[in-house]
Amino acid sequence: MDFLANDSKNLINKGNLLVELGHLKEAAECYANALENDPDNPEALLNLGNLLIEFGRYSDAIECYNKILTADPKNSVTWQQKGFALLQLNKPEEAIACFDFSIQNDPKNSYTFFLLGSTVMKLGKYFEALQCFNKALEIQPDHPINLMEKGIVLTCLNEDQEALIYLDRSLAIYPDNAEALIAKGEALRHLGRYAESLAILNEAQNKEPPQIELWLSKGVTFDCLNQHEDALGCWEQILKINPDYLRALAFKARSLYRLNRNGEAIIWIEKYLDIVPDDAGEWNNKARLLIELNRYDEALSCINTALSIDDTLTIAWYRKGIVLDHLERYDEAILCFNKCLTDPESDYYFKALWKKGRDLDKLGMKAESIECLNEAELGYTGYPFFDIPENVSGCDSDQAFTDSDRDVFTSEFDIECQSNEIENEEWYYSEPEDESLPEIDPDIWCPEIGELCPLEDFPSRSCPFGRCIYRDDDDEFDENFPYLVGFWGSNQSDDNIYP
Contact 237, 257 (CB under 8 A): no
* pTM score, whole prediction: 0.69
pLDDT exceeds cutoff 50 at 321: yes
Q: Is 84 inside a domain boundary?
A: no
Instruction: Name the maximum alpha-carbon separation found in the chain.
Output: 108
pLDDT, tens digit (0-9, with 9 covering 90-100), for 76-109: 999 999 999 999 999 999 999 999 999 999 999 9
Number of structural domains the chain divides into: 2
In CATH, what number is assigned to the domain containing residue 330? 1.25.40.10
Beta bridge partners of 486: 428, 465
* pLDDT for res 480: 38
Contact 356, 371 (CB under 8 A): no
Q: Are residues 364 and 420 in the same domain?
A: no
The domain boundary residue, chosen from 330, 362, 382: 382
The domain boundary residue, chosen from 382, 409, 431: 382
Q: Are residues 413 and 324 in the same domain?
A: no
The domain boundary residue, chosen from 366, 382, 398: 382
pLDDT exceeds cutoff 80 at 476: no
* pLDDT for res 344: 86
**Cα–Cα nearest to 493, from 459, 466, 467:** 459
Residues 6+ apart with CB under 8 A from 176: 207
Q: In the predicted model, what is the mean pLDDT of the chain?
A: 79
Q: Is 472 inside a domain boundary?
A: yes
Q: Are residues 420 and 364 in the same domain?
A: no
Residue 468 phi, psi (nearest 5): -80, 150
Q: Are residues 399 and 350 in the same domain?
A: no
* % of residues, the chain, pLDDT over 70: 74
Q: Are residues 396 and 341 in the same domain?
A: no
Mean pLDDT of 454-483: 40
* pLDDT for res 375: 82
pLDDT, tens digit (0-9, with 9 covering 90-100), for 100-136: 999 999 999 999 999 999 999 999 999 999 999 999 9
Beta bridge partners of 430: 484
Q: Is 23 inside a domain boundary?
A: no
Q: Is 19 inside a domain boundary?
A: no
Separation in Å, CA 437 to CA 27, 212, 466, 481, 483? 89, 56, 20, 9, 11
**Residue range of the domain that includes 315:** 278-382
CA 266 – CA 282 distance, rounded (Å): 10
* pLDDT for res 411: 33
pLDDT, tens digit (0-9, with 9 covering 90-100), for 159-207: 999 999 999 999 999 999 999 999 999 999 999 999 999 999 999 998 8
Q: Are residues 321 and 403 in the same domain?
A: no
